[in-house]
Amino acid sequence: MPKERTPSGIPLRDFYGPQDVAQLDYTRDLGDPGRFPYTRGTRATGYRSKRWTVRQVMGVGTGRETNARLRHLLREGQTGISLTGLGYAPFESGDPRAAALVGRGGVWVDTLADMEDVFEGIPIESLSINQTGNSIPAFAMIAGVARRRGLALSDLSGTIQNYVLPWGEPPRYEGNHYIDLIEFCAKNMPRWNHTSISVRNTRESGIGADQEIAFGVYEGWYAASTAVERGADANVVGRRLTFFLNAENELLEEVAKFRAMRRLWARIMRERLGATDDRACQLRFHVQTSGVALTAQQPLNNVVRATLHALAAVLGGAQSLSVNAFDEGAGIPSQFAQTLSVRTQQIIALESGLANVVDPFGGSWAVESLTDELEKRSAAIFESMTRMSAAQAWQYVTDSTREAAYRRQLEIDRGEQPVVGVNCFEEADEDDLALGDSMKSAAPDYDPAWRTQQMERLARVKRERDPRRFEAARRRLAEAYRLREPIVEPTVEAAEAYLSIGEMVDALAGVSGEAELRKRGGFITRLYS
Amino acid sequence: MNEDARPIRVLFACDTSGHTAGYHVVARGLRDAGFEVILAGRQLPSESASAALQEGADVIAIRIMDRDPVEHVTAILEAMRAAGIGEVPLLAGGIIAKRDAEKLVAMGVAGVFRPGSKLSAIVECARNAVRGRTVPQ
């Protein structure tokens, strides 16, 4: 039976016609690609002049394993870098908390020496780098690699997944590290996206496309307005504020989602934040295709799923794309599976013809109707959130995602939401991969020796670093923190003096205690702490 | 329901504090099935063992996302034995490759739940594991 509603709850008709889009005014609501409100895209020429960036998220083992995988992916045609795991752990590899963890949940980095390993032989000035998570020590180490190579920070382009949380310091207050990052990047790194609002993982819980849009624009609006409150220019902030979105199963609604979000964001930036700069009003986003839609059972089915998700992202005009690997339900993606994800993107880009026309679904009665309905629904959610306190709004996001995740699981368990290979068309022998060894990566997906090797490497760095420079940098970092001075520059200096992330965190927690450091942001990420 | 007077008490911990959507789904599934769920959050193996001892947990459940499942569960089982609660059933779930799942079962884990598992299967396994322990063979 066909579904009566989209996952967002929008009623579906048998077919759509002109009456379903009669309320739309082309110039006001759509505009040509490259024209406000950018429903149809941020550039007039779309992918005809600049293709999306092929940017598989990756991080495995230590700097060395990640470097080898990264070089492989770049050789195979990846055009940007996205690293996961950077600075997730606010402690050193030798800490008891690092047991069974080093190199499993992304790349493990203790010091600048490890970051140098990550980027060994890779021209970082000509590739954009995405840093997953908002670790300031890891960001400082990327900056440190550039400086050691004699590059200016302004030569770098990339993104840090920075955002502003409401339960930190009040925005105006010095000591809010999220805003420190925005200010540092705006001043020193004009090609670096200082903010990347991630609602991708929020969507993964099972919320609808309308909520993904609403929660995203809310968090974007909150980040931009708090930076403006501390004195930043909305145009400057808006130019480098980006989004990190999901691409889920329902193809038509997903395409409509990206279009609706562009329109809503442009209106918010112009009307609520007073941005006048075109680029500051343009929603630019990276998509990582759905993980929750992928299954551990019959894993090759995931190749088909991820291709459909990737199509939604491309039809929706994503600037950058990571196609989830088909074996992610089992653990860290293998090199084979990640290469296939790159190939998926290349086939869409070079063979499907979809990159040759901008916004090809524009004018489709069904897609325009869904776009308009999604914008209305998400605007209403956004408006209601702006009437809450920021802390309440974030709690609303948490409550909504918890509820949606549970509901989704019950629907799958009852068979109301079909998942091929899981609750229908199951196979008796749901082998992990049903693949021959030759298709598997030569590299292990986990090696307990990574931790011991990493501990030895860290010990060597500590032996070889200049102890006076180390001590001076440690003191300066702690002092800047104590005085609530902007924290990023002293952190870069600490990175260059080869302080480990664990040492930086300890130095700051020694000043204020861990709870305060957590509130100020950027040093203790929530992942492993 | 269970023949015991009080609900089954499960200590439910995470390997890391990373993504928790699945963790909360399973916690709620257990609660709605009548379990008393102690939401322990991210714990080291020794912390889970001593919490289970103090709380008198009938069963321990571990969500695994980032840590190596075999290494992590080995440490938990050791910590449980050291705390004198080696006989308490342990369930594990999350991102666990099939080959690792088989190893965990061989190590004595009462149930391993990979993506795609039904809540009812987790509930049933936890009940049976506790029953198997309390009812004399």
Residue B44: what pLDDT? 96
Q: For residues A499 and A497, what is the distance between their CA atoms, to the nearest angstrom?
A: 6
A481's tokens: 């923190």
The answer, yes or no, to whether residue B3 has pLDDT greater than 60, is: no
A293 lies within 8 A of chain B by CB = no
Instruction: State whether A409 and B44 contact (CB < 8 Å).
Output: no
Give the other-Cβ count within 10 Å of A26's Cβ. Answer: 13
- For A169-196, the DSSP string reads S-TTSTT-HHHHHHHHHHHH-TTEE-EE
User: Looking up tokens 């970051």, which residue turns up?
Assistant: A115
Which helix or strand (DSSP H or E) is residue A47 part of? helix A46-49
Instruction: State whether A526 and B17 contact (CB < 8 Å).
Output: yes
Residue A428: what pLDDT? 80
| 3-class SS of residue A288 | strand
**Cβ-based neighbours of A134, under 8 Å, separated by 6 or more:** A160, A161, A162, A163, A178, A181, A521, A522, A525
User: Looking up tokens 């409401």, which residue turns up?
Assistant: A166
Q: How far is A88 from chain B (nearest CA, A)?
A: 9
Nearest CA in chain A to B44: A97
pTM for the full predicted model: 0.95
Exposed (0-12), middle (13-18) or buried (19+): which is A468, by Cβ within 10 Å? exposed
Residue A1: what pLDDT? 60
Beta-sheet pairing, A320-322 with A285-289: parallel
**Cβ-based neighbours of A385, under 8 Å, separated by 6 or more:** A214, A215, A218, A393, A396
Best mutation target, B95, B112, B117, to test chain A (most A CBs within 10 A): B95
Exposed (0-12), middle (13-18) or buried (19+): which is A22, by Cβ within 10 Å? exposed
Q: How far is B114 from chain A (nearest CA, A)?
A: 7
Strand order in the sheet with A57-58: A57-58, A81-83, A129-131, A158-160, A192-193
Instruction: State whether A100 and B75 contact (CB < 8 Å).
Output: yes
CA dihedral A77, A83, A84, A85 (to 10 degrees): 140
Pair A499, A461: CB distance under 8 Å = no
* Contact list, A432 vs chain B (CB under 8 Å): 97-99
User: Looking up tokens 């004195």, which residue turns up?
Assistant: A231
pLDDT in tens, chain A (529 residues): 667 899 999 999 999 999 999 999 999 999 999 999 999 999 999 999 999 999 999 999 999 999 999 999 999 999 999 999 999 999 999 999 999 999 998 999 999 999 999 999 999 999 999 999 999 999 999 999 999 999 999 999 999 999 988 766 565 668 899 999 999 999 999 999 999 999 999 999 999 999 999 999 999 999 999 999 989 999 999 999 999 999 999 999 999 999 999 999 999 999 999 999 999 999 999 999 999 999 999 999 999 999 999 999 999 999 999 999 999 888 888 899 999 999 999 999 999 999 999 999 999 999 999 999 999 999 999 999 999 999 999 999 999 999 999 999 999 999 999 999 999 999 986 655 555 454 555 556 789 999 999 999 999 999 999 999 999 999 999 999 999 999 999 999 999 999 999 999 999 999 999 999 998 999 997 666 5
Buried b (16+ CB within 10 A) or exposed e, A113-146: bbbbbbbeebebeebbbbbbbbbbbbbbbbbbbb
Residue A429: what pLDDT? 67
Confidence of residue B24 (pLDDT cuts 50, 70, 90): very high
Closest partner CB to A330 (pick from B25, B98, B120): B98
Buried b (16+ CB within 10 A) or exposed e, B63-96: bbbbbbbbbbbbbbbebbeebebeebbbbbbbbb
Exposed (0-12), middle (13-18) or buried (19+): which is A246, by Cβ within 10 Å? buried
Nearest CA in chain A to B97: A330
Q: What is the pLDDT of residues B66-106, one digit of tens each?
A: 999 999 999 999 999 999 999 999 999 999 988 899 999 99
Q: How close are the terminal C-alpha atoms of chain A, in Å?
A: 46
Residue A438: what pLDDT? 43
User: Looking up tokens 């909150």, which residue turns up?
Assistant: A222
- For B4-29, the DSSP string reads SSSPPEEEEEESSSS--HHHHHHHHH
Nearest CA in chain A to B115: A296
- For A307-375, the DSSP string reads HHHHHHHHHTT-SEEEPPPTTTTTSSPPHHHHHHHHHHHHHHHHTSSGGGSSSTTTT-HHHHHHHHHHH
Pair A202, A403: CB distance under 8 Å = no
Closest partner CB to B116 (pick from A104, A296, A431): A296
Pair B97, B63: CB distance under 8 Å = no
| 3-class SS of residue A246 | strand
Residue B19: what pLDDT? 86
Q: How far is A513 from chain B (nearest CA, A)?
A: 20
Closest C-alpha among A278, A185, A178, A287 to residue A223: A178
Q: How far is A304 from chain B (nearest CA, A)?
A: 18
Closest C-alpha among A220, A83, A115, A118 to residue A162: A220
Which helix or strand (DSSP H or E) is residue A58 part of? strand A57-58
Q: How many beta-carbon contacts under 8 Å exist across A and B?
A: 92
Q: Is the link from the previous residue into B115 a cis peptide, with omega within 30 of 0?
A: no
* Contact list, A201 vs chain B (CB under 8 Å): 19
Q: Which amino acid is at A437?
A: D
Q: For residues B61 and B121, what is the distance between their CA atoms, to the nearest angstrom?
A: 14
Residue A268 DSSP one-character state: I
